[in-house]
Amino acid sequence: MFILMPVIFVLGILAIALEDKIKINKAAIALFMAISLWMILMFDAYNIFVERSSPLFQEFLTQNPEMANAPLKDQFITFITNRSIVYHLGNVAETLFFVMCSMLIVDIVDKHGGFRSVTGYIRTANKRKLLWYISFAAFFFSALLDNLAAAIVVMAVLRKLVPDRTDRLKYACMVIIAANAGGSWSPIGDVTTILLWVGKNVTAMHQISHVFIPALVNLLVPLTIANFWLFKKDATLRVMSEEEMADEYTPEIPNNSRRIIFVIGVLSLALVPVFQMLTNLPPFLGVLLGLVILWFYTDIMYSKLHMHESNKLRISQLLPNIDLATIFFFLGILMAVG
């Protein structure tokens, strides 16, 4: 049965890659893959741990001498359930809480119009200038919010700044390139970099110092090409009407409060590496602290606003917006790797 483990893993990864073709959600595939691998580990424990002389299993018996005289079946059950699964689940939980809190912070800032509050700083009618503004915004946002969240946020901003769909698609192509380039040089810029950082495979300073320049080159080369290829010199955007620029966010929330929510949200993510270096605590506690501060601020803000309770975007109401399918996907993948 042992040989089935790498086979199941490879087939699972292929099925995830072909999700659109086989019409099965990647979260379900990842969870099935993880459960199957742990079942094989339990059913074929003698062959894996004894016949193949697993050093981890021998270390477990050395550290727990009371288990040495127990039946082999009890040794395997205790090792797999109490040592292996609990150990890996603890490491996975750190990553999952980090991802969940990051997603929630981004959603809170977005729902309260925090990103909209800063669009005025990058508004320009010149198409080429806007391309550079938007690309650099995506590049640095992705380092703070993760590349997928940054791309979604910047796309939402583009809907306000660029009314023409054809032009907006041109900007969107550059946003994707910029977000992927920006997410690579930050320890919190992508799920893969988060895994490396949380797993202590790389330090924040090492990644930034070694990857920032290559990432910047990856942005500047296509951006320079796009600058001359996509838009003519001095080309201008169509001016949006007042109706198109209407605020879809809760109008009672003051602009100053939206900016504060934006600043708290961004700093909550940007300062996580600093929190980890100062306290030596896991990074997920740093992002949890940022979420709590944002929770305190929004609750205090709503207590001062004369609004009907149903119109208040309290964080407790936004909790269901977390993408649980993505969380289950990461759970399955990481437990399968474990």
Query: Domain residue spans in the chain?
Result: 4-93, 95-321
Measured CA to CA, the distance from residue 193 to residue 206 in angstroms comes to: 12
| Tokens 């040089």, located at residue | 185
Q: Is the Cα dihedral 188, 191, 194, 196 positive or negative?
A: negative
Measured CA to CA, the distance from residue 174 to residue 185 in angstroms comes to: 18
What letter does residue 50 receive in the DSSP assignment? I
Please give the full DSSP string across 90-131, using - where no structure is assigned.
Answer: HHHHHHHHHHHHHHHHHHHHHHTTTTGGGGGGG--SBHHHHH
Measured CA to CA, the distance from residue 183 to residue 190 in angstroms comes to: 5
Q: Where do the H-state alpha helices sit in the chain? A: 4-17, 19-22, 26-43, 45, 55-63, 72-77, 86-111, 127-145, 147-161, 165-184, 191-198, 204-229, 255-270, 272-279, 283-304, 315-318, 324-337
CA angle 308, 153, 137 (to 5 degrees): 130
Identify whether the C-beta of residue 198 lies closer than 8 Å to the C-beta of residue 98: yes
| Tokens representing residue 230 in the block | 């996509």
Q: What is the pLDDT along the chain (338 residues), one digit of tens a residue?
A: 778 999 999 999 999 999 888 889 999 999 999 999 999 988 888 888 888 888 888 888 888 888 878 888 888 888 888 888 988 898 888 888 888 888 888 888 888 877 776 666 667 778 888 889 889 988 988 887 777 777 877 887 787 778 788 888 888 999 999 999 988 888 877 777 877 777 778 887 888 888 999 999 999 999 999 988 888 787 777 655 444 444 555 667 888 888 898 888 888 877 877 887 788 888 889 889 999 999 999 888 888 887 776 667 788 888 887 888 888 998 999 899 88
| Tokens representing residue 3 in the block | 């040989």
| Tokens 């501060």, located at residue | 293
C-alpha distances in Å from residue 305, one per residue of 121, 239, 308 = 27, 33, 9
